[in-house]
């Protein structure tokens, strides 16, 4: 077995273990991790933005898809996106494969489901590693996985945000 293939297999196994680690949500077949929020769409993203900014992560933009739909005379349940990231995490990944820039900065989507519950979804870092064939940045993906789990838990659960 070639060294490159061996390294790739180990990376996939390692990332799979991270994804299934206790306390972490599991991604579905499309690489999306979804959590149910105790709050509405706007408050969920407000809380996520606060958690991110407190950790020194830049929030680049928020997009209100429901507001956009209304502008063109269409209805959409509350649905909004937050775009965030940091070059400390993204740059090493792009050094390994610039194509991951298509998925960076990271995004999280909050929406009101048909049953009235609010969901918060984001792309599983292990899925990004696989999609872009990045096998030499295990520590970066592990850090992303833990941070996203932590910040999204803060956003969706009452009492999740620590006081400043």
Mean pLDDT, the chain, rounded, equals 86
| Residues sharing a CB contact under 8 Å with residue 132, sequence separation 6 or more, in sequence order | 93, 96, 97, 99, 100, 103
Residue 162 counted as domain residue: no
Residue 59 counted as domain residue: yes
Domain with residue 147: its CATH number is 3.30.310.70
> What is the rounded average pLDDT of the residues 76-86?
98
| pLDDT (tens digit per residue) in 114-133 | 999 999 999 999 999 999 99
> How many structural domains comprise the chain?
1
Predicted confidence at residue 29, as pLDDT, reads: 74
What confidence tier does 12 reach under pLDDT thresholds 50, 70, 90? very low
Predicted confidence at residue 164, as pLDDT, reads: 53
The larger pLDDT score, comparing residue 7 to residue 32, is at 32
What confidence tier does 106 reach under pLDDT thresholds 50, 70, 90? very high
Residue 89 counted as domain residue: yes
Predicted confidence at residue 161, as pLDDT, reads: 75
Residue 128 counted as domain residue: yes
What confidence tier does 155 reach under pLDDT thresholds 50, 70, 90? very high
Q: What 3-state DSSP class applies to 55?
A: coil
Residue 164 counted as domain residue: no
Contact indicator for 87, 17 with CB cutoff of 8 Å = no
What confidence tier does 54 reach under pLDDT thresholds 50, 70, 90? very high
Residue 81 counted as domain residue: yes
Please identify which residue in the block is written with the tokens 């696989």.
Answer: 130
> What is the rounded average pLDDT of the residues 90-109?
97
List the domain range (segments joined by +) for residue 69.
Answer: 3-156
| pLDDT (tens digit per residue) in 21-43 | 333 455 567 899 999 999 999 99
Residue 121 counted as domain residue: yes
Residue 65 counted as domain residue: yes
Percent of the chain with pLDDT over 90: 78
Predicted confidence at residue 5, as pLDDT, reads: 37
């Amino acid at each position: 077995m070639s060294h490159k293939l061996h390294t790739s297999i180990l990376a996939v196994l390692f990332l799979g273990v991270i994804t299934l680690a206790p306390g972490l949500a599991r991604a579905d077949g499309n690489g999306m991790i979804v959590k149910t929020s105790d709050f509405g769409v706007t408050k969920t993203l407000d809380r996520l933005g606060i958690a991110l900014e407190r950790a020194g992560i830049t929030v680049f933009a928020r997009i209100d898809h429901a507001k956009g739909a209304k502008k063109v005379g269409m209805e959409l349940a509350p649905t909004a996106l937050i775009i965030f990231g940091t070059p400390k995490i993204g740059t090493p990944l792009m050094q390994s494969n610039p194509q991951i820039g298509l998925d960076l900065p990271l995004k999280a989507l909050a929406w009101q489901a048909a049953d009235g519950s609010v969901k918060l979804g984001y792309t599983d870092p292990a899925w990004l590693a696989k999609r872009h064939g990045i096998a030499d940045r295990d520590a970066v993906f592990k850090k992303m996985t833990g941070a996203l789990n932590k910040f999204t838990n803060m956003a969706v659960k009452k009492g999740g945000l620590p006081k400043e």
